[in-house]
């Protein structure tokens, strides 16, 4: 793609290339801009306010033990699939994940340290079972970092393709 004397690309910000820039800088800016545009085009997912609000309620008000998120492939919206009440546990979260489709989940893990202090850590789980479609795995993999940035306050991440990779023992070991 060649740029003329005053070419402007439109994305989040307008970038103007002029002849005053050295050719190497101009080429670097062009490459960076095209890479950002490609990344935005490949993921194109949006986290809904419902996801953000549910996460904040879990984090600050402790009204949820876990939240499961899914991506609607047609609208590219990340929405809440299931919310676990404060009385539910990790087994309930594991049971709510489908055997043949990807999901994201956050889990609020409460525990007591060796010093007898009560602590709480939030786990982000990227669930991509082997039986799920390749397209779904790719969509969830490319959107994961964006979701994590929106859900501020996550302490640990677990990636799992089968239930043994995200067992309760794995969560306990990571929290210590």
Compute the distance between CA of residue 83 and CA of residue 24 in angstroms, rounded to an integer: 51
**What three-state secondary structure class fits 51?**
helix
Query: What are the residue boundaries of the structural domains of the chain, listed by start?
Result: 45-175
**What three-state secondary structure class fits 71?**
strand
**Looking at the domain covering 45-175, what would its CATH class be?**
alpha beta
Compute the distance between CA of residue 148 and CA of residue 156 in angstroms, rounded to an integer: 11
97-to-4, 44, 162 alpha-carbon distances in Å: 52, 24, 10
148: pLDDT strictly greater than 70: yes
Asked whether the beta carbons of 86 and 63 are under 8 A apart, the reply is yes
Q: Residue 7: what pLDDT?
A: 36
**Spatial CB neighbours of 18, under 8 Å, sequence gap ≥ 6:** 5, 6
DSSP assignment, residue 164?
G
Compute the distance between CA of residue 109 and CA of residue 169 in angstroms, rounded to an integer: 12
Window from 24-28, 92-96, 128-132, 151-155 with minimum mean pLDDT? 24-28
Q: Residue 107: what pLDDT?
A: 98
Rounded to an integer, the average pLDDT of 154-159 is: 96
**What three-state secondary structure class fits 166?**
helix
Estimate to the nearest angstrom the gap between the alpha carbon of 61 and the chain centroid: 22
DSSP assignment, residue 21?
S
Q: Would strands 77-85 and 46-47 be described as parallel, antiparallel, or unpaired? A: parallel
- DSSP secondary structure, 132-145, as one string: S-HHHHHHHHHHHH
Q: Residue 43: what pLDDT?
A: 57
Higher pLDDT, 12 or 87: 87
The tens digit of pLDDT for each residue in 53-69 reads 999 999 999 999 999 99
The tens digit of pLDDT for each residue in 9-52 reads 333 343 433 445 455 554 544 444 333 333 333 457 899 999 99
92: pLDDT strictly greater than 80: yes
**Spatial CB neighbours of 160, under 8 Å, sequence gap ≥ 6:** 125, 126, 127, 128, 166
Q: Residue 44: what pLDDT?
A: 79
Q: What is the mean pLDDT of the chain?
A: 82
């Amino acid at each position: 793609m060649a740029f003329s004397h005053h070419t402007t690309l439109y994305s989040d910000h307008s970038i103007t290339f002029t002849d005053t820039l050295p050719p190497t800088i101009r080429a670097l800016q062009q490459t960076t801009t095209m890479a950002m545009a490609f990344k935005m085009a490949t993921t194109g997912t949006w986290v809904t306010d419902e996801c953000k609000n549910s996460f904040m309620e879990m984090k600050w008000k402790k009204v949820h033990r876990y939240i499961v998120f899914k991506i609607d492939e047609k609208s590219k919206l990340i929405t809440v699939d299931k919310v676990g009440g404060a009385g539910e546990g990790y087994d309930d979260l594991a049971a709510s994940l489908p055997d043949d489709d990807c999901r994201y989940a956050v889990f609020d893990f409460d525990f007591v340290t060796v010093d007898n202090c009560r602590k709480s850590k939030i786990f982000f789980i990227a669930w991509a079972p082997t039986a799920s479609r390749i397209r779904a795995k790719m969509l969830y993999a490319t959107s994961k970092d964006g979701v994590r940035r929106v859900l501020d306050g996550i302490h640990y991440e677990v990636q799992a393709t089968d239930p043994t990779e995200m067992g309760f023992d794995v969560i306990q070991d990571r929290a210590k």
